[in-house]
Amino acid sequence: MELVQLEIRLTVILSVFNGMPYLPKAVESILSQSFADFVFIIVNDGSTDGSGDYLRSLSDPRILLINQANEGQGAARNTALRRCQSEYVALMDADDISLPDRFLSQLEYLDAHPDVVMLGTQLEFLVGTVGQRALCVPVGHDDIETRLLKGRSGLCNSSLMFRTAAAIACGGYPAGVVGEDIDFCLRMCEQGRAANLGRVLLQYRLHTAQTSLARCRELILATRYVAYRTICRRKGLPTPTLDSYFLNASLISRWRWSIEAWELIQYRTARIQMASGRTIRGLLRFALLGLCRPFATIGRIAGTIGTLHRRCTG
């Protein structure tokens, strides 16, 4: 597919590695946006599950499909970034769903706030066809950056829209590492301000095959390391390697990372089970969480009890 040369304001980037069976819904949610004047760059990062066949079947003239050997999500996004000629870039993951007014809402905000270089949205979880309320992410820059510097998510990466020039200035995404999302967001915070809209404009899919579940402890360690490395860089201190950071960490820190990984797996699995009709199993997992982390579990249980049960029609 050839890139149509138009004067466009927005490029959408979707990197795919084995995105089936959720990929078609993700793509459809982009192509049906109320703001339709964009180029849609899809990088097939060495998929082996039929994603490539599906992507080659698409005929929308806005789509530019790039096929490459598997290099990881950071490298795939950088491949797309090098092709961007627009003012703004919007990200999308292959298993999520963007609600119809996402792009229009984000463009209007960024146009009205020139100091903001990176903008996310609120989200809801999507389990199968069931929407579930998620905890809110902060809307202001200071709160977002504070969370990022603790190695915690302050923005949902697949909901991001950012200024292309700022992303290029910060060097894009690090390739071949875990925790590239937080690294990118922290360096973007050095280019300008970050914000989140107060509206839910993305459905973030929960399923047991997610990398965040399969490699949960590795992800938590990597995000803490990225945050610590950023603090060292900003203070002009020597930056340790990931291995030395882990080896020098206290036993308490290592124990805490393991607990956090276990907690996240139990929490997300419980939500998946309850949305799938296995209520008893889900409640038992929540009970285990409550025994280990009673106060932290209260908000999560409230979010699950407040399930929206909104069926996805996109």
Q: Is residue 112 part of a domain?
A: yes
Give Cβ neighbours of residue 214 (< 8 Å, ≥ 6 apart): none
Q: What per-residue confidence (pLDDT) applies to 275? A: 72
If you average pLDDT over every residue of the chain, what do you get?
87
- Do residues 190 and 216 share a domain? no
Q: pTM here?
A: 0.85
Strands 161-163 and 116-127, how do they pair? antiparallel
- Do residues 180 and 301 share a domain? no
For 218-256, what is each residue's pLDDT tens digit? 888 899 999 999 999 999 999 999 899 989 888 888 888
- Do residues 63 and 197 share a domain? yes
Q: Is residue 3 part of a domain?
A: no
CA atoms within 13 A on the CB side of 69: 0
pLDDT band at residue 209 using 50, 70 and 90 as cut-offs: low
Whether the CB-CB separation of 303 and 135 falls below 8 Å is answered with yes
Whether the CB-CB separation of 115 and 188 falls below 8 Å is answered with no
For 152-208, what is each residue's pLDDT tens digit? 989 999 999 999 999 999 999 987 777 889 999 999 999 999 999 999 999 999 876
Q: Is residue 5 part of a domain?
A: no
- Do residues 217 and 303 share a domain? yes
Long-range CB pairs of 54-59, under 8 A, 24+ apart, other chains included: 54/20, 54/23, 54/24, 55/16, 55/23, 58/1, 58/27
- Do residues 230 and 295 share a domain? yes
Whether the per-residue pLDDT at 1 is higher than 80: the answer is no
- Do residues 71 and 153 share a domain? yes
H-helix segments, 125-278: 141-148, 164-169, 180-189, 211-214, 216-235, 242-248, 251-275
pLDDT band at residue 211 using 50, 70 and 90 as cut-offs: very low
User: Which CATH number fits the domain that encloses residue 91?
Assistant: 3.90.550.10
**What sign does the dihedral 274-279-280-283 (CA atoms) show?**
positive
Q: What per-residue confidence (pLDDT) applies to 57? A: 97
End-to-end CA, the chain: 25
Whether the per-residue pLDDT at 2 is higher than 70: the answer is no
For 108-151, what is each residue's pLDDT tens digit? 999 999 999 999 999 999 988 888 888 899 999 999 999 999 99
Whether the CB-CB separation of 28 and 58 falls below 8 Å is answered with no
What is the percent of the chain where pLDDT is above 70? 88
Whether the per-residue pLDDT at 295 is higher than 50: the answer is no
End residue of a domain, out of 205, 229, 263: 205
- Do residues 230 and 294 share a domain? yes
pLDDT band at residue 305 using 50, 70 and 90 as cut-offs: very low
- Do residues 194 and 225 share a domain? no
Domain residue limits at 306: 211-311
End residue of a domain, out of 175, 205, 235: 205
Burial class (CB in 10 A: 0-12, 13-18, 19+), 311: exposed
Question: Domain total for the chain?
Answer: 2
Q: What per-residue confidence (pLDDT) applies to 304? A: 45
For 58-97, what is each residue's pLDDT tens digit? 999 999 999 999 999 999 999 999 999 999 999 999 999 9
